Amino acid sequence: MWGNTGRIIDIDLTTGAVDIFSPPESYYRKYIGGSGLAAKLFWERGDFSADPLSPEALLIFTLGPFAGLRLSGASRGCAAGCSPLTGHWGDSSCGGYFAPELRYAGYDGIMIKGKSDRPTLITIFDEEIQLKSAKEYWGKDILETTASLRKEYGRDSRMLAIGPAGENLVRYASILNEGHHAFGRAGFGAVMGSKNLKAIVVRGTRRELMLRDAYSFNNLRRELNKKIKEALPSTVLHENGTAANLEGGVHTGDVPVRNFQSNFWEEMAEALTGSTLTEKYLTNHGQCAFCGVACKRVVEIKEGPFAVPKGPGPEYETIVAFGSLLGSMDLAATCKAGRLCNEFGMDTITAGCTIAWATEAFKKGALTLDDTEGMSLEWGDMHTVIDSLLPMIAYRRGNLGRLLADGSVAASLILGKGSEKYVVHSKGLEVPMHDPRGGGHGLALAYAISHRGACHVAYPMLFMEMGACYYPEIDFEYELEPMTEEYKAETGCIAVALGSIENSACYCQFADREISVPEWVGLFNTVAGYNWDVDDMMRAGRRVFYLHRLLNHRYGLSASDDCVSERLLQPAVDGAPEGIEIRFTGMKDKFYQLMGLDPDKGIPSKQVLVEHDMAEEFGKLESTLKS
């Protein structure tokens, strides 16, 4: 096998058993790796009846075929399983350094089930895999844990860790690599916590990877690294981070304000944008392994109520989730809130959205002082968010902390009183910081059809509507107008294939904007020897998309779940998109027709599955439904 190793660690924390599983080579050729490989592994081995926080739940980490190669954008990995936040299939992507190190140790992934009877640490040093006591780390935050593990196991070791939020089963707890790179979405930190698994440490020595055509790959790699690094978007990302275009997004109506109640706040734009962060607080640029872009922020705030020592700084999503979404334009507060979420191990998107929901519910009388135990929730009050709400959530303290620790959807169902109208989500996953009313109507479709729920990186629809993609080899030559439904269903068909390829290859969507479709085919063939042409690769992407839908069908989801909250379909009241309606139903119906999806079940027909070499998966689905 080329690129991939064909070896996945299989751990049962209940019994302590450690085995090596070798998937059939067809798993890789058909489902690529990463998100697709994890989906296939779960399809074959997962317990669909298991509560996501039970010992029987299966947690999977997988790599793409390019992990460990000195290629910009290829350092990411995938975490997957049943999400404790949404109750159905989910996956999450993380950059950094863990994925390459796991490949150097000789593995394509890790499967974990069971529950240890004590806090546990997994160490992986090539063939030596051990379960050790993590008692001394339990209760520590992620930054403390990472520093302690690095001191014990050496600076050349790489680690994943959870914090107090994961230990306390906050349903949107995250997993962090090196304290800076996050498996943020879908709550897999809580799954680790439910298994008493505090951290995973890996160190590998097999730096020479077996490639199908190393000479051709290295020529292609050098060309791509140069092209990615010198591209204008890369320069902008390096200089001002992922929030570089926040100011522009404010003027198009993309940036949500006060829980998606407004699409425009001019004074906030300059206060929170990436260049302001660079000017005021940036001390260094951070990067993922082998990346020539280095878009990560390292910040320091030396004084004031939101002072933070030098360390990880916020990305765009965090800046908006703890900025305009909460009615705040205090950039220092977003840095402090983001740092706390890193320490506690919480997804900043769901955390910000849940607090925004609570604030609106309080302002409109659904959430009372009795519910908040006397605490007022006001727009822009970041002292309450930072000093009270985030610690309460992470440790499930008090009635309000316990309520918000399960996310906005669950909280609204418990509270009632019409507060469900203030939740902004799809399939139980809170919407990221791009409002489709201003960011692009196709984004509403992408949120709705995403297997994990509302997600801006499941598929590259956001970039495609922005005009950042041009793929004539697959007939994508549209000049899209963001605030209409024209060509969005057709674009969606291409987006789901490309997004599934990206997330299965575990590749960065920023770097990918500089790679052509033929170059993608060249990467797969020179590294993994898949011998694909363009059609083969696009079919593999669609195959992953279809398998994700089959997984969610097993969890009881149907076509009716491919929707977004009512608020996102109401015309904006201000800004550039004011008064413009998203014609969602027409986009969805046409997308279903083009993709061969059943209008009620939401899954592909038998004919479509057979055409995509998924007869085996169809047979298993049929037998499961009959039983």
Residue 564 CB-density burial (10 A; 0-12 exposed, 13-18 middle, 19+ buried): buried
Helix, strand, or coil here: 128? Answer: strand
Whole-number pLDDT of residue 627 = 63
Hunting for tokens 């006397």 — which residue is that? Answer: 374
Q: Check pLDDT > 80 for residue 7.
A: yes
Hunting for tokens 């009313």 — which residue is that? Answer: 437
pLDDT per position as a tens digit, 314-372: 999 999 999 999 999 999 999 999 999 999 999 999 999 999 999 999 999 999 999 99
**Crossing angle (nearest 10°) for helices 331-344 and 142-153:** 60
Domain boundary among 401, 430, 459: 430
Query: Structural domain of residue 73, as residue ranges?
Result: 8-203
Size (the chain), residues = 627
pLDDT per position as a tens digit, 263-306: 999 999 999 999 999 999 999 999 999 999 999 999 999 999 99
- Please report the sign of the dihedral spanned by the C-alpha atoms of residue 247, residue 252, residue 254, residue 256: positive
Contact 199, 162 (CB under 8 A): yes
Which of 255, 186, 190 lies closest to 454 in space, CA to CA?
A: 186
Domain boundary among 430, 457, 476: 430
Q: Based on the fold, state whether residues 392 and 451 are members of the same structural domain.
A: no
CA 395, CA 170: separation in Å to the nearest integer? 8
Q: Based on the fold, state whether residues 451 and 364 are members of the same structural domain.
A: no
Whole-number pLDDT of residue 346 = 98
Decide if 15 is inside a domain. Answer: yes
Q: Based on the fold, state whether residues 339 and 295 are members of the same structural domain.
A: yes
Which DSSP string corresponds to 386-411?
A: IIIIHHHHHTT-HHHHHHHTT-HHHH
Longest dimension (CA), the chain: 68
Decide if 224 is inside a domain. Answer: no
**Crossing angle (nearest 10°) for helices 517-528 and 488-505:** 30
* Average pLDDT in the chain: 97
Decide if 426 is inside a domain. Answer: yes
Contact 363, 415 (CB under 8 A): no
| Band (207; pLDDT cuts 50, 70, 90) | confident
Which of 290, 289, 213, 222 lies closest to 528 in space, CA to CA?
A: 213
Mean pLDDT of 544-561: 98
Helix, strand, or coil here: 170? Answer: coil
Helix, strand, or coil here: 241? Answer: coil
Strands, E assignment, 83-234: 89-94, 109-113, 120-125, 128-133, 158-161, 175-177, 181-183, 197-203
Question: In CATH, what number is assigned to the domain containing residue 363?
Answer: 1.10.569.10
Q: Based on the fold, state whether residues 513 and 408 are members of the same structural domain.
A: no
Q: Based on the fold, state whether residues 258 and 333 are members of the same structural domain.
A: yes
Q: Based on the fold, state whether residues 121 and 102 are members of the same structural domain.
A: yes
- Please report the sign of the dihedral spanned by the C-alpha atoms of residue 173, residue 174, residue 175, residue 179: negative
Question: In CATH, what number is assigned to the domain containing residue 504?
Answer: 1.10.599.10
Decide if 215 is inside a domain. Answer: no
Q: Based on the fold, state whether residues 500 and 584 are members of the same structural domain.
A: yes
Decide if 24 is inside a domain. Answer: yes
Whole-number pLDDT of residue 302 = 97
CA distance readout (Å), 122 to 152, 160, 197, 200, 400: 14, 10, 8, 5, 34
Decide if 210 is inside a domain. Answer: no
CA 434, CA 431: separation in Å to the nearest integer? 8
Residue 208 CB-density burial (10 A; 0-12 exposed, 13-18 middle, 19+ buried): exposed
Which residues, other chains included, contact 583 with Cβ-Cβ below 8 Å and sequence gap of 6+?
A: 441, 485
CA 64, CA 4: separation in Å to the nearest integer? 8
Decide if 282 is inside a domain. Answer: yes
Mean pLDDT of 84-110: 98
Hunting for tokens 């689905």 — which residue is that? Answer: 621
Q: Based on the fold, state whether residues 386 and 471 are members of the same structural domain.
A: no
Question: In CATH, what number is assigned to the domain containing residue 23?
Answer: 3.60.9.10
Q: Check pLDDT > 70 for residue 606.
A: yes
Number of domains forming the structure of the chain: 3
Whole-number pLDDT of residue 558 = 98
Q: Based on the fold, state whether residues 332 and 367 are members of the same structural domain.
A: yes
Mean pLDDT of 402-422: 98
Phi, psi at 207, each rounded to 5°: -80, -20
Whole-number pLDDT of residue 54 = 98
Q: Based on the fold, state whether residues 41 and 150 are members of the same structural domain.
A: yes
Tokens of 241: 């981070």
Residue 626 CB-density burial (10 A; 0-12 exposed, 13-18 middle, 19+ buried): exposed
% pLDDT > 90, the chain: 97
pLDDT per position as a tens digit, 160-183: 999 999 999 999 999 999 999 999
Decide if 587 is inside a domain. Answer: yes
Whole-number pLDDT of residue 131 = 98
pLDDT per position as a tens digit, 392-405: 999 999 999 999 99
CA 7, CA 127: separation in Å to the nearest integer? 11
Alpha-carbon 21 to chain mean position: 26
Q: Based on the fold, state whether residues 88 and 180 are members of the same structural domain.
A: yes
Whole-number pLDDT of residue 624 = 79
Which of 79, 27, 86 lies closest to 58 in space, CA to CA?
A: 79
Bridge pairing between strands 197-203 and 120-125: parallel
What letter does residue 127 receive in the DSSP assignment?
T
Q: Order across the sheet with 296-301: list the strands.
A: 282-286, 296-301, 308-312
Q: Based on the fold, state whether residues 461 and 556 are members of the same structural domain.
A: yes
Domain boundary among 381, 398, 430: 430
